[in-house]
C-alpha cells in the first residue's frame, strides 16, 4: 500500500522554508559514511540525512542492513516497494513522536549534516534504457534533420521509442564528464577522423529506478507497471551530436551516448509525488490496449537548466520545462519495454528522453536552445556565447513539484566538463 505523508505534518528535524526535502518527500539515497568510509543508505530531511543502518541496528526499522547494500537490494528485501519503510520513517520524524527525537545518542549517530557528505549512485545499475518520450524534442529534431519530411516518424505516436544504453557509465551528480573522442566527418572533408567531439550537449530527462523484478517471458500489465517503479531521479543523458550524426544510421546512438549518463543522488518515491499526479496530453491515435493507462499517469514537475562557465561567478538559467510535456508516461514505458517478455531487475534505470516544452524558453538540449548553432546562447554576466558545451562548463539541472505551500523536489544534478586531452 502506498503512503502519502499528510500535508500538515511537521518534523522535529526542520527543513528550511522552500526546501525540496520536507517530511512529505523523504527521498532515498546512498552516501559514504564519514566515520567508516562505507557506503550507507539514508533519507533526506531538510539539510540532513537520516542514516538507516543505526535505526535498523536499534530495532526501530525491520530489515537487515548488511543485506540491503543499495536501493535495489533494499527494495528487493522489502518486496519491491519502499512505502512501508518510508511510512515508518515519516512517523519517526513527525514532530510529536519522541522515539528518535528524544533518543539523543541514536539521533546523533543517525542524523548527519548534508554539507560535505559524499553521495554515490543509489543503486547498482544492471541495465539502462533511454526513451524518446518528449514529443516536442522529437518534433524539433525531426524538423532539423528531416526538413522535407514529417518531423515525427510513423511509429512515434504508437509506441514509446527507446534504445538500450550502457549501464556501466552511469554516474552520480558531482562527477565530471570527460569530453569524449569519437569518429565523425566535418563538412567538406572526404573522410572521417577520430578526435574530441565539438558538439557536446546535455539532455534534460527524468529517470526512474526499478524496484521490483519481473519474470523473463512475462509482460508487465500496464495496471501493474508502477508497482515496479522504485522512484524518480533527474537524468542528464549527455550526447555528442557530431559523433551521433555520423554513426547513428541505421542502428541508432552508440558511442555518442555511451560515454556518460549523470543521475541525481536522491530517489523521490511515487508516494511523495502522488499529490502532483496529472493527466498527460491526449494521445492520438489511442494506444493499443496493452499501452492504455488505467488513470492519470503523468506528474507536474517543474524543471530548470542552468549553465555556468569558468568565467562566471554564478550559473544562469537558460531553460525551464516540465515533465507534463512527455507524451508517454513511465507506466507506458514499463509496459512497452516488457511487452516482448523482457524482464526487469531491481536497480535498472530508465530515462524519459529529452523533455522540451512547446515554447522557445522550454527546450531541453543545447541542440534545440541554440538551434543547431544558428542561435547561440549569450551569457549575460560575461557576454560569452555557447552553441554547444566547452571545457570547464558546468551544467545544473533542478526539479520540483509544488502545490500551495507543499514542495517536493529532487535537489540538483550537477556536472562539469573537462578536456579529453
Q: Which residues are catalytic?
A: 137
Cβ pair 184, 246 in contact under 8 A: yes
C-alpha cell belonging to residue 44: 533526506
- C-alpha to C-alpha distance for 313 and 315, rounded to whole angstroms: 7
Among 196, 324, 201, 216, CA closest to 257: 201
Among 322, 349, 324, 354, CA closest to 334: 349
- C-alpha to C-alpha distance for 69 and 122, rounded to whole angstroms: 10
- The count of other CB atoms within 10 Å of the CB of residue 309 is 18
- C-alpha to C-alpha distance for 46 and 11, rounded to whole angstroms: 10
Cβ pair 234, 413 in contact under 8 A: yes
Instruction: List alpha helices for 66-161, DSSP H.
Output: 71-77, 83-93, 98-101, 104-110, 135-145
- The count of other CB atoms within 10 Å of the CB of residue 55 is 23
Contacts of residues 244-248 at CB distance under 8 Å and 24 or more positions apart, as own/partner, are 245/184, 246/182, 246/183, 246/184, 246/185, 246/192, 247/182, 247/183, 247/184
Cβ pair 398, 319 in contact under 8 A: no
Q: What residues are paired with 302 via a beta bridge?
A: 322, 400
Name, in order, each residue with C-beta under 8 angstroms of 112's C-beta and a sequence gap of 6 or more.
Answer: 31, 34, 42, 48, 49, 50, 51
Among 414, 415, 410, 56, CA closest to 209: 410
- C-alpha to C-alpha distance for 106 and 326, rounded to whole angstroms: 44
- C-alpha to C-alpha distance for 345 and 347, rounded to whole angstroms: 6
Amino acid at each position: 500500500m502506498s503512503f502519502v505523508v499528510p500535508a500538515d505534518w511537521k518534523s522535529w528535524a526542520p527543513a528550511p522554508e522552500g526546501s525540496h526535502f520536507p517530511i512529505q518527500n523523504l527521498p532515498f539515497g546512498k552516501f559514504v559514511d564519514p566515520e567508516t568510509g562505507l557506503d550507507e543508505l539514508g533519507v533526506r530531511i531538510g539539510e540532513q540525512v537520516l542514516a538507516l543502518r543505526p535505526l535498523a541496528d536499534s530495532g526501530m526499522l525491520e530489515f537487515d542492513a548488511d543485506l540491503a547494500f543499495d536501493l535495489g537490494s533494499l527494495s528487493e528485501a522489502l518486496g519491491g516497494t519502499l512505502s512501508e519503510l518510508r511510512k515508518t520513517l515519516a512517523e519517526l520524524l513527525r514532530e510529536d513522536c519522541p522515539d528518535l527525537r528524544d533518543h539523543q545518542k541514536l539521533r546523533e549517530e543517525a542524523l548527519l549534516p548534508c554539507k560535505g557528505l559524499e553521495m554515490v549512485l543509489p543503486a547498482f545499475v544492471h541495465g539502462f534504457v533511454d526513451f524518446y518520450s518528449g514529443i516536442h524534442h522529437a518534433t524539433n529534431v525531426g524538423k532539423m534533420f528531416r526538413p522535407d519530411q514529417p518531423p515525427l516518424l510513423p511509429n512515434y505516436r504508437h509506441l514509446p521509442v527507446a534504445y538500450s544504453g550502457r549501464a556501466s557509465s552511469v554516474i552520480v551528480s558531482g562527477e565530471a564528464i570527460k569530453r569524449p573522442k569519437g569518429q565523425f566527418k566535418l563538412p567538406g572533408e572526404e573522410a572521417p577522423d577520430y578526435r574530441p567531439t565539438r558538439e557536446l550537449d546535455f539532455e534534460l530527462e527524468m529517470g526512474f529506478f526499478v524496484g521490483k523484478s519481473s519474470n523473463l517471458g512475462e509482460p508487465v500489465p500496464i495496471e501493474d507497471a508502477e508497482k515496479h517503479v522504485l522512484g524518480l531521479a533527474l537524468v542528464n543523458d549527455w550526447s555528442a551530436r557530431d559523433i551521433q550524426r555520423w554513426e547513428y544510421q541505421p542502428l541508432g546512438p552508440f558511442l555518442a551516448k555511451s560515454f556518460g549518463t549523470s543521475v541525481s543522488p536522491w530517489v523521490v518515491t511515487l508516494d511523495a509525488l502522488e499529490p502532483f499526479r496529472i493527466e498527460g496530453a491526449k494521445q492520438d491515435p489511442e494506444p493499443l490496449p496493452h499501452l492504455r493507462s488505467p488513470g492519470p499517469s503523468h506528474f507536474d514537475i517543474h524543471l530548470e537548466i542552468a549553465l555556468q562557465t569558468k568565467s562566471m561567478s554564478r550559473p544562469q538559467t537558460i531553460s525551464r520545462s516540465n515533465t507534463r510535456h512527455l507524451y508517454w508516461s513511465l507506466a507506458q514505458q514499463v509496459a512497452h519495454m516488457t511487452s516482448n517478455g523482457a524482464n526487469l531487475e531491481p536497480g535498472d534505470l530508465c530515462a524519459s528522453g529529452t523533455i522540451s516544452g512547446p515554447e522557445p524558453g522550454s527546450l531541453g538540449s543545447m541542440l534545440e536552445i541554440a538551434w543547431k548553432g544558428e542561435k547561440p546562447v549569450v551569457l549575460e554576466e560575461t557576454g560569452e556565447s555557447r552553441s554547444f558545451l566547452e571545457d570547464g562548463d558546468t551544467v545544473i539541472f533542478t526539479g520540483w513539484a509544488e502545490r500551495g505551500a507543499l514542495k517536493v523536489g529532487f535537489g540538483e544534478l550537477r556536472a562539469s566538463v573537462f578536456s579529453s586531452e
